[in-house]
Amino acid sequence: MNRRTVLGGLFAVASVPALSACAGGITSLNGSGSTAGGAGSSKGGVTIGTANFTENQVLGYLYAAALQGAGVKTTVRPNLGTREIVIPALRGGDIDLLPEYQGALLNYLAPKVTATESGEMQNALTQALPAGLQVLPYGMAEDSDAFVVTRETARKYGLTSLADLKKQNGHLVIGAAPEVKKRQVGAVGLKDVYGVEFKEFKSLDSDGPLVKGALKKGDVDVANLFTTDTDIRANDWVVLTDPEHLIPSQHIVPLIADRKADDTVRKALARLGNLLTTAQLTELNRQVDKDKKDPEDVANAYARQHGLVR
């Protein structure tokens, strides 16, 4: 082929009409699983989506194991992206079920609501959810956002709580996943509630290698991690306390499309929720991150061990 001319007409047109022209067209190749309307039924199988961090994959596969134990067919779609991406996908019918976190989900749906107690939050969630979605009873296990500094940084600036960060306004760099820049439990809330302003917000990842690496190297002073991450203790990092309760305590809660929420699904997920403790979940996360075990294997082993599947 002659590549001499590949770029020939490059600037012949503006990109705008060309861009919009490509968006339509092709119809669905794989058929969406949405069968809206009527009472929910899990007969056709349930597609579980998960967000882009370890624990959410573990939870997704735990949900799958619990549902399979109850005879429901499941598909897991791991690592789809952030809450901002997966919830629209749930509404659009690409997925049916998501492992969610009470406080963070409530903040996403209704940033102004101030419920902090778990039962209250559950009610607020039910009210805030768009039609077609519902939360099932929340589980025992909890995992919250944490703003973490190294022991050294804590000493240097005298940091023990989020309120202390204000003393260093304009000096500290925070590292977190990009979405945290726009979230209440994130740059927005830290400013509103504690008056904290950072020198820079570094877009990294959700409790992943980038944010932890940056904290270790000193590229960021404050890192957004999750309380169920064993690395916090392993590295002797300091979790800043939250006297103003910016960070809601949050139990893990299944968010499901009405069309799939039947009794079988409810019972199976409630059973898992009443079983799984925070300590157990933390250990499962560790097995995936440190022992390099598959989230699916880890979840299945847990389900077998606790009699969720035979």
Q: List beta partners, residue 101.
A: 252
Of the chain, the end-to-end C-alpha distance in Å amounts to: 59
Q: Provide the 10 A C-beta neighbour count for residue 240.
A: 20
23-31, 113-121, 161-169, 275-283 -> range binding other proteins (CB under 8 A): 23-31
Which one among 32, 35, 114, 127 touches other proteins, defined by CB under 8 A? 32
Identity of the residue, 143 or 179, whose beta carbon is nearer to other proteins in the bound complex: 179
CB of 181 to other proteins, least distance (A): 7
What tokens appear for 120 in the block?
A: 């209250």
- Answer yes or no whether residue 181 interacts with other proteins by CB under 8 A: yes
By CB under 8 A, the residues from 62 to 81 that bind other proteins are 77-81
By CB under 8 A, the residues from 159 to 178 that bind other proteins are 177-178
- Given strand 97-101, what is the order of strands in its sheet? 74-77, 46-49, 97-101, 252-257, 133-135
Question: What secondary structure does DSSP assign to 24-70, as a single string?
Answer: S-PPPSS------SSS---TT-EEEE--SSHHHHHHHHHHHHHHHHT
Which one among 40, 42, 48, 52 touches other proteins, defined by CB under 8 A? 52
CB of 55 to other proteins, least distance (A): 11
SS3 content of the chain, % helix, strand, coil (to 5): 45, 15, 40
- Answer yes or no whether residue 30 interacts with other proteins by CB under 8 A: yes
CB of 68 to other proteins, least distance (A): 17
Q: List beta partners, residue 174.
A: 201, 222
By CB under 8 A, the residues from 266 to 295 that bind other proteins are 288-289, 292, 294
By CB under 8 A, the residues from 203 to 232 that bind other proteins are 203-205, 208-210, 213-214, 217
Identity of the residue, 49 or 273, whose beta carbon is nearer to other proteins in the bound complex: 49
Burial level of 279, CB count in 10 A (0-12/13-18/19+)? exposed
Pairing of strands 222-226, 173-176: parallel
Q: Which residues contact 280 (CB under 8 A, 6 or more apart)?
A: 141, 302
Identity of the residue, 29 or 36, whose beta carbon is nearer to other proteins in the bound complex: 29
- Answer yes or no whether residue 247 interacts with other proteins by CB under 8 A: no
- Answer yes or no whether residue 96 interacts with other proteins by CB under 8 A: no
35-43, 86-94, 156-164, 231-239 -> range binding other proteins (CB under 8 A): 86-94
CB of 144 to other proteins, least distance (A): 20
Q: Which residues contact 128 (CB under 8 A, 6 or more apart)?
A: 106, 109, 110, 113
- Answer yes or no whether residue 2 interacts with other proteins by CB under 8 A: yes
